[in-house]
Structure formats: C-alpha cells, structure tokens
Amino acid sequence: TSVVLTEDTDSFIIGDRVWVGGTKPGSIAYIGETQFAPGDWAGVVLDEPI
C-alpha cells in the first residue's frame, strides 16, 4: 500500500510504525519518488491483509 506523506519525509525512516487511514497499522518499507505519481511517497507493509 502507498500513501502520500502529509509530513516532510525527513520525519520518517524505513521501519517506522504508522497507521494508514487511522485504522490499519503497518511499517514503512519505502520512502521516495515513484514512476506512477509525482512527489514523495511512502510504501507501507500492512500488518494484516486488506
């Protein structure tokens, strides 16, 4: 799952625990640019499948 960061990417590091949509816990696995959209994105590995 990928989400647009609402804070500066300097606030996060790989492995940080995050909540996606306030209800889905996971860990940041990637931070950076992508080919599918502009800006910095975070790739999150969710604890449970959707």
Q: Which two tokens stand for residue 46?
A: 């969710």
How far, in Å, CA of 10 to CA of 21, rounded? 21
CATH number of the domain at 38, please. Answer: 2.30.30.190
The pLDDT of residue 28 is: 95
Q: Which domain holds residue 18?
A: 2-46
Q: Would the pTM of this model clear 0.75, i.e. be above it?
A: no
The pLDDT of residue 42 is: 85
3-class secondary structure, 26 = strand
**Residue 43 carries which side chain, given as an amino acid letter?**
G
The pLDDT of residue 8 is: 67
The series of mean pLDDT values per 10 residues for the chain, 50 residues long, is 60 91 93 89 92
**All residues at 6 or more sequence positions from 37 whose CB lies less than 8 Å from its CB, including other chains:** 4
Count of domains in the chain? 1
